[in-house]
Structure 1
Amino acid sequence: MKRRGFICVLGSVASGFWPRRRTIIVTMAAMVLLPIEVSDAGWLSDIFKGSSKQAKSPRQAKSPKHVTSRKPAALARRAVSPKPRNVKLAALGPVGLPPAALKPVATRCDPAKFRIVLDVGHTAESEGAISARNVSEFAFNLRLARQIEEKLKAEGFAETRLLLTEGKARRSLVKRVAAANNLAADLFLSIHHDSVPNKFLEDWEFEGKKSRFSDRFSGYSVFVSRRNPDFKTSFAFAELIGKEMKAQGLEYAKQYTQAIMGRYQRPLLNKETGVYRYDELIVLRNTQMAAALLEAGSIINRDEELKMSSPERRDIISSGVTAAVKEFCEPRWGILGPL
């Protein structure tokens, strides 16, 4: 018996015995318990995403089996095979992300097999920025990356790989991309600590040595590249990192939105989470997996440098990254995406 026919009969029977309110409750219960046919599933999609036209995912657009039109040919097929098919929630796509972040339905990941590459930004030969107290960015990056690796492995992500590269500047970038691609990683996260353009730097002395600083800017930031082969997943992962940083009480660096940054100005994709777009970053655009870059904080800011040097701040950031990876990998990602 079709669902609607059954509901009508059930409603008629119930109306003879119970008040109207109970009839409505019984009818609603029947709707929940009965299987959902493909042709009647549009209402469920509307509940999650609004218009059914807007709700179509790339996979749905390519596959005619999800078409819900009641054309004669479709009705004939249903007459031949009346057995209803249940609709999988995975077909509804991610919920709670802006349209730019929508991606094909992901499979559930097994933490024991899920491979994350933690790229230690810069090298011992090309140390990156120098902090207000004359410590290299590479040293900050390595300490934080190791702590993130430790936490991820403790949470069951046994295939986490720490990527250390040798060499100078651009050549080292090519090496790290090649290494990450050879590892066949599922996610790539490059760890960095921020500085500012030279025009903002001021001179001071620390422990008898000349140094430079800028206390004008502070905060973390997350970058993605639109030229990454899986930009949608990259952005979704970056959003999770930014959300976790914010949940830990951290604020993102807002200077990249300002015209005074000149060529360092970047488009802000989400003003709540601090995710920026930086299309030309080699480690983001040339990696074959979803990739993001985290600037954990400013080491040229004298106050923030002290915080970034502390085990407490490293614990906060590594916990946030680990929570983001876990949320990315939880079973609900394979059903509805990050919420």
Structure 2
Amino acid sequence: MKYVSLLGFYFAAGIAGAAPAVVAVDVGHGGLDSGAISARGRPEFAFNRDFAGRVVTALRERDLDVKEVNFDGQIGSLAARPKAARGSDFFISIHHDSISEQWLLDWEWDGKPQRYTEVKRGYGIFVSAHNPDPPTSLRCASAIGAMLRRAGFEPSTWHARKHVAADAQNGVWYYDNLVVLYRTTLPAVLFEAGVIKHRDEELELLDPERQARMADAVATGIAACLFVTEKSARE
């Protein structure tokens, strides 16, 4: 079930008529680097593009403007992604997660050898302390995570092995040296929707209804965060 649009809330708060916030939605990886390969052999970029499209739709349903970044997979440079997002108010890079080689097992799918994991699943949200606006980045990341948890999604705890918690309860971690998060002028997060190397979660991530429900939660979190940011700027 979708959350109620925040448009009525905007009017009640007295900011109706203001220009809508612009959210840059970046599709991780692309033609030159397709990213991780799923347990059944599908490239991460295909997962990223499908889910990013859902996020774009959900954001527009909340009366937010969207700038689409790398939907054609042609942006090869990581630094070029934030540049393409200039003029936006917020940047989110969409990814799907993998795991290091030592945790992978062998199996066969559709007559081809593939690799999978059984130890890691769940979403993850990353922010950088080197971002030009860490407070807004973290506030939006936490809002996204809270909405995801409210919608029934569970964050991965695996990231605690090598990342400092920013808001572990909501699945938010510091990853300071991610180029797309610190080489930008915008508050920014990187979102890992799930682990495509996990065989069960891979199938869940391919489910259109689940994609739409997750995208709805992500968009709700972003909209709520940007509302708070806009309200604070006006006070």
> Which bracket does the TM-score occupy, shorter chain normalised?
0.7 to 0.9
What's the TM-score once normalised by structure 2's chain length? 0.87
Tell me the CA shift for residue 274 of structure 1: 0.9
- Cα RMSD, aligned residues only: 2.1
Q: 2-side partners of 1:174 and 1:322: how far apart?
A: 24
**Cα distance in 2 between the residues matched to 1:315 and 1:161:** 19
- Aligned partner (choices 187, 193, 217) of residue 290 of structure 1: 187
CA distance in structure 2 between the partners assigned to 1:111 and 1:320 by the alignment:
24
Is 1:151 the counterpart of 2:58? The answer is yes
Match of 1:180 in 2: 85
Equivalent position amino acid for 1:325 in 2: I
Q: Aligned to 1:117, which of 8, 24, 31?
A: 24
Q: Which has the higher helix share?
A: 1
1:161 and 2:67 correspond: yes
| Superimposed CA distance per residue, residues 111-160 of structure 1 (whole angstroms, 9 cap, x where no aligned partner) | 75311000000012210000000001000000000111112112211x20
Secondary structure at 1:283 match in 2 = helix
Paired with 1:186 and 1:308, the residues of 2 have a C-alpha distance of 28
Structure 2, gaps ≥5 residues long: 1-14
Change (3 A) 1:296 1:331: closer
| Contact 1:111–1:156 (Cα < 8 Å) also in 2 | no
Is 2:222 the partner of 1:325?
yes
Aligned with residue 133 of structure 1, among 16, 19, 40: 40
Instruction: Tell me how far apart the structure 1 counterparts of residues 56 and 38 of structure 2 sit (CA, whole Å).
Output: 24
Superposed displacement of residue 177, structure 1:
2.1
Larger relative contact order (Cα-Cα within 8 Å, sequence gap ≥ 6): 2
**In terms of Rg, which structure is larger?**
1
Q: Which residue number in structure 1 is paired with residue 144 of structure 2?
A: 241
Between 1:327-336 and 1:219-228, the stretch displaced more is 327-336
Residues 240 and 328 in structure 1, CA contact (< 8 A), matched pair in contact too: yes
Identify the structure with the greater strand proportion: 2
Give the aligned partner of residue 56 of structure 1.
Answer: none
1:335 shift after superposition: 4.8
Give the unaligned 5+ runs of structure 1: 1-107, 259-264
Query: Where do 1:1-339 residues align within 5 Å?
Result: 112-157=19-64, 159-164=65-70, 165-166=73-74, 168=76, 172-181=77-86, 184-258=87-161, 265-330=162-227, 334-335=231-232
* 1:271 Cα offset (Å): 2.2
Q: 1:232 to 1:331 in 2, by over 3 A?
A: closer
The alignment of Structure 1 onto Structure 2 pairs a total of residues equal to 219
Q: CA 1:246/1:109 → structure 2, altered by over 3 Å: closer, same or farther?
A: farther
How has the CA–CA distance of structure 1 residues 110 and 320 changed in structure 2, closer, same or farther, with 3 Å as cutoff?
Answer: farther
Distance 1:167 1:326, change over 3 A: closer
| Secondary structure in structure 1 of the residue aligned to 2:79 | helix
TM-score for both structures, normalised by structure 1: 0.61
